[in-house]
Amino acid sequence: MKFFFAGAFILIISAFNSIYAQQFIDRVNFFTDTSLINATLTLNIKKILAEKEKEGYIFPATFSCKMGDSLNVNDQVSVEVRGHFRRTYCYLPPLKLIYKNNPAAAFYRLKSLKLVNTCVPTFSNDQNLLKEFLIYKIYNLITDKSFRVRLLNLSYKDNSGKKKTITQHAFLMEDIKEVAKRNNCADWTGKKCNTESTDRRQMTIVAVFEYMIGNTDWSVPVNHNIKLIHANNDPMSSPFVVPYDFDYSGFVNTSYAVPDERLGIESVRERVYRGFPRTMEELSDVLDIFNKQKANIYATINSLNTLTAETKSGIIDYLDDFYRTINNPSSVKRTFITNARE
């Protein structure tokens, strides 16, 4: 009997050590690495399609990939159906990959991550996904108070054998708590805020950026496509706005993106500034950030080899129009002051 318990104890210790002696993905380095990850998500696709309308529906899956030269990841994960419009409209709904329930997962320290995937598995939708990924990368150049993302070449493998494997690009999004942490902030848990109750300079950066990409699908008061964080060292300070979810922008120009009729525009490609008025001095300070990063923004676009030359050209033409506006004083005054929100 002593030998039985001793053997059982050794097996338990060995199992424990095998779990915690393995390599874990570093949650910071994961998003600073710019290399493409080839990954496979094995799950019951038929069941997802049948149940995607259910709010918070969770089901098991396996996330597999190779990290670097030595780490082969084969994590058992929980997957949650998320989103609103895309969840109901798209063939594949947006998902959340939950690693935190499995201490043996290589991605355990990343806890849970939003997965942004193509709406429909077609080439044009894949290019749209890459354009939305680019928006996050561009905004990283403008401010550190932004979500970092990691690009995947992702295969969806149906474990029931009833659906064909789908391979498209996708990207994983950093959690808002990590955005806050690396900016010496915390996730905002207070009441909803009016737009002008947030940090004024950061709100100006956000509003100009949303104008840059032609996005009007956001709102601070109702927490629509924005998150709030606040400084750890000053709990009484105004929160900072962190935007996300850019598929309705003119930059991406999805087939389903339709502007609010109250804006008086016919296409999301038409820019409308949704920020409040600022002084020319405030605007000059913020627009200088965009001008200083122009070369880096264009280089980021041109370096994404998965985009076609035609897609890159269309993006650059769209941004050229923005830069003409912000470098013309009369256009700046008309766009960001005269025609700003009241």
* Predicted pLDDT of residue 115: 96
* Predicted pLDDT of residue 292: 98
Q: Are 120 and 109 in contact (CB under 8 A)?
A: no
* Predicted pLDDT of residue 52: 82
Q: Are 271 and 338 in contact (CB under 8 A)?
A: no
Q: Tell me which H or E stretch contains 214.
A: none
Structure tokens at 306: 């998965």
Q: Are 52 and 70 in contact (CB under 8 A)?
A: no
Report the amino acid identity of residue 139. Y
**What burial letters (b/e) apply to 294-329, b meaning 16+ CB within 10 Å?**
beebbebbeebeebeeebbebbeebbeebbebbeee
Report how far residue 246's alpha carbon sits from residue 249's, in angstroms, rounded to the nearest whole number.
6
The vertex-214 CA angle with 322 and 52, nearest 5°, equals 155
Residue spans of beta strands (DSSP E) within the chain: 37-43, 58-67, 71-81, 95-98, 112-117, 149-158, 166-173, 185-187, 226-231, 240-243
* Predicted pLDDT of residue 277: 96
Nearest in space to 43 (alpha carbons), one of 155, 164, 121, 157 = 157
Q: Tell me which H or E stretch contains 99.
A: none
Mean pLDDT of the chain: 90
pTM: 0.91
Q: Are 173 and 211 in contact (CB under 8 A)?
A: no
How do residues 9-39 score in pLDDT, each as one tens digit? 434 433 433 344 358 898 889 999 999 999 9
* Predicted pLDDT of residue 22: 57
Report how far residue 25's alpha carbon sits from residue 296's, in angstroms, rounded to the nearest whole number.
28
How do residues 266-300 score in pLDDT, each as one tens digit? 999 999 999 999 999 999 999 999 999 999 999 99
Residues of the chain with pLDDT under 70: 1-22
